[in-house]
Amino acid sequence: MPPNLRLSLTIFTIGFAIEAGVDVYHLVTGSPKLVAGGTLFFVGVIATVLGLIFLTLGRHEWNELHRARVHHAHLTFLVVVLLGAAAAGPLAFYAYMPSLSIPSWLAYEVGAAIGASLFFTFILYALIVYHLLGSAGRAILAMALVAAIPVVGFIGYYIAGDIPSYLATVRSSPTKLAALVEPVVSYLSYMFLAYALFAVAFIDAHRRVARGLEPPGTDGATASPPPAPARPS
């Protein structure tokens, strides 16, 4: 059995479960305050990075399709990082330079970059696990994407529509991370369904891998044994 692939799927699943639990807490309590002082905010990032590391380490354990998906996951993760930097860079610059006026283009650039970064993050998760799932698991994965995309759009729209007051809050707060995240916590809490569905999909993938339902082959199909050598006449 491919241990690195199974470990990667386990890490992603734990990350999704924690994210879903935190979102349910915010949804039920209505509190915008970050749980554990914001420590759990980094769970998704840490789980994604560790999961990709073990996917990379396990490339030799799997078939050509899986290796291609790992390559696509790396490229998608790079896109996520670049989009995140495109949003965080201008925000940080104007947050720490209160004497500067906020340009009109900033709202559209930051809102679009944040929305696109979150969108490609979920596409990354789908790329990683899609080929390891059966029809039921793929349906769950599709529902997770459907649950996530509207929330992503609302977050980008909110930040783009209220960037002056958003930046004013960040500028006046001694805790920049809390000031950046807490205004959108009420929107982020609706991600609980998407994260829960992703966790179910990754659990299903782990089950299929552990049972050998996805052995090396083409698109998850069992590889045909090599032909027997011809007997000398």
| Average pLDDT over every residue of 161-180 | 68
Which whole number is the average pLDDT over 165-176?
68
Looking at this protein, which amino acid is placed at residue 174?
Answer: P
- pLDDT at residue 223, as a whole number: 41
| pLDDT recorded at residue 200 | 95
124: which 2 tokens?
């990354």
Confidence of residue 194 (pLDDT cuts 50, 70, 90): very high
Q: Comparing 33-37, 66-70, 82-86, 145-149, which segment has the lowest mean pLDDT?
A: 33-37
